[in-house]
Amino acid sequence: MAFFRPAILDSFAGYSRQQFSSDVLAGITVGVIALPLAMAFAIASGLKPEAGIFAAIIGGLIVALLGGTKVQIAGPAGAFIVIVYAIVDRYGVANLLLATTLSGVFLFLMGLFRLGTLVRFIPIAVIVGFTNGIAVLIILSQIKDFFGLQIPQLPSQFFSMVQTLFDRASSWSPATLVLSISSLIFLILWRLFHKRIGKLGMIPGTIWVLVLATLVTSIFSLPVETIGSRFGGIPAGLPSPQWQGITWESAQLVIAPAMTLALLGAIESLLCARIADGLTHERHRPNQELMGQGVANFVMPLFGGMPVTGTIARTVTNIESGARTPISAIVHSITLLLIIVIAAPLAKDIPLACLAAILIFIAWNMGDWKQFIDFKQFRLPYRITMISVFLLTVTVDLTVAVQVGLILAFVTFVYRISSLSRIETAPVADFPFLEGQEDKVAAYRIYGALFFGAVQLLEKIEQRLPQCAVVLDFKNVIYIDATGMDSLIEFMHHCQTRGVTVYICGLNHQTHDIALRSGLYDKMSAEFFCHDLAAGLQKVRNAFLKPY
């Protein structure tokens, strides 16, 4: 089981009582922060608030025990809202639970087959595009509760959502709007000035606004929708696990949404882990992290919870509060459990308008809007990729957006690498005996990569073949793929039909390996391979230029 080693097993070397105290305090802090966020994320996803709370408690505990990061806090995340809401709207809650189970399987397999490092290769333009797109969709999804609009079910598709919001705009509630705006202003001011008010500033603004909004709603009996009026409150404990029946037909139905959940969960958790590494100066294990996340998402549907992943805001808060081991994440889950056991009856008076304001505030801070402000400083391909992913995320679907973004990034990468690959004629000044012999012998230095995007390099040589010999120097070629080697073999065949001898020089480790595996050495005599350009040209001189 060497491939499966949770970070918690390596977290207690030199562990002290002081560090334990710091972990416990950090866990309590982040547990209190997680409560309103867990409920808000669940409600925004079209689920009951307890689905988010159970996910934070159970999912956070499993990732703490089995994950590859020492300080990461897992739970429901804002990035999942749009995807989960769309799955619930299209397939229903039962199929969301199935999709979550399958996403857990996919995540575990990604970690098992060591694909964690590949997720890091997703370009920043794609990440910024879909992150900002999700932020916009979260804000749009909260307009209903922010304004108190009378909409029984808000569509998940962008254009239908906008049309519904526009059609029902006249049904807004003055009391709801005042409470929402007041909550949002409070959060903004708290972020700006909380460090100036001493110990009170240590309590998160989301907790203050939740408590104040709930008190105002209860004392003045405001005509606003609450958790109690919509959901009847939250349970005062964890549910018993229940296995959801799986059929082949239902699995086929949700396989695409499950893959989307897995991909998004992998990106979010590993991005969070990298941020944690930068703050703690340690290194996480990406594949172990994916396996831990996979187990958590496989288990969550047994308790009716929503998908979980690493959460950046709570993880950063955890680290800044002094956490250094998974003990803090375990305490975070215990804190949440104690809160719902003790204070579940009070949750029924929490106004949805306040939760909507919290989510809008989080979504705005979640987006990397500076990238749009500094748009002109980026190259055109970067801008096209980022805008395409952003617009497709908002108007179509996250899966399509990421697919298109990766294709655009791939095309851009191929173009850039191929533009860096070039071929140059060896200067006559370096080899004086070539002077006046250009019609008989040609020598070329190849630079960069000879791959499927740069095979035209050899085609250019074919257009001006000399009479006797061509010498190709591969010393500065960093990579050849199968297509590039196939093009080289085709080039040699073309030269052979024209009566031109080809000499290959300077094959390094990678190029030599691909030449060996492709059978190039079987097609050419050893005398036509040289260790550098000078040696190759000397052979050409002896074979073709001596009489002249």
Query: How does pLDDT run across 280-321, given as a tens digit for each residue?
Result: 888 899 999 999 999 999 999 999 999 999 998 899 889 988
Mean pLDDT of 101-127: 89
Tell me what percent of the chain is helix, strand and coil, each rounded to the nearest 5: 70, 5, 25
Cβ proximity of 434 and 537 under 8 Å: yes
Q: Are 357 and 65 in contact (CB under 8 A)?
A: no
Residue 151 lies in a domain: no
For residue 355, count other CB atoms closer than 10 A to its CB. 30
Terminal CA-CA length for the chain: 70
Q: Where are the alpha helices (DSSP H) in 154-285?
A: 158-167, 174-193, 205-219, 227-231, 248-280
Number of structural domains found in the chain: 2
Residue 546 confidence (pLDDT): 62
Same domain, 78 and 200: yes
Give yes or no: residues 80 and 214 share one domain: yes
512 located within any domain: yes
486 is a domain residue: yes
Closest CA to 116 of 249, 293, 281: 293
CATH number of the domain at 483, please: 3.30.750.24
Does residue 201 register a pLDDT over 80?
A: no
Do 360 and 457 lie in one domain? The reply is no
Indicate the pairing of strand 441-450 with strand 309-310: unpaired
- Reading the block at residue 225, the tokens are 């929708």
> Over 60: is that where the pLDDT of 547 sits?
no
Q: Please report whether residue 440 resides in a domain.
A: yes
Q: Per DSSP, what are the bridge partners of residue 529?
A: 504
- Same-domain pairing of 245 and 331: yes
Q: What is the pLDDT of residues 4-42, one digit of tens each?
A: 899 999 998 888 999 999 999 999 989 988 989 999 999
φ, ψ dihedrals at 214, nearest 5°: -70, -40
pLDDT band at 105 (very low <50, low <70, confident <90, very high): very high
Q: Are residues 195 and 105 both part of a single domain?
A: yes
pLDDT at 233 over 90: no
Reference 63, options 301, 242, 328, 275; nearest CA is 328
- The answer to whether residue 156 is domain-embedded is no
Q: Same structural domain for residues 205 and 324?
A: yes
Query: What does the pLDDT read at residue 372?
Result: 85
CA distance 281 to 276: 8
**Would residue 235 count as lying in a domain?**
yes
Residue 358 is part of which domain span? Answer: 17-120+166-369
Chain-wide mean pLDDT for the chain? 90
Confidence of residue 345 (pLDDT cuts 50, 70, 90): confident
Same domain, 477 and 358: no
Q: Examine the domain organization and report whether 314 and 190 are in the same domain.
A: yes
What predicted TM-score, i.e. pTM, was given to this entire model? 0.81
Same domain, 183 and 290: yes
pLDDT at 193: 85
- Partners of residue 423 on adjacent β-strands: 446
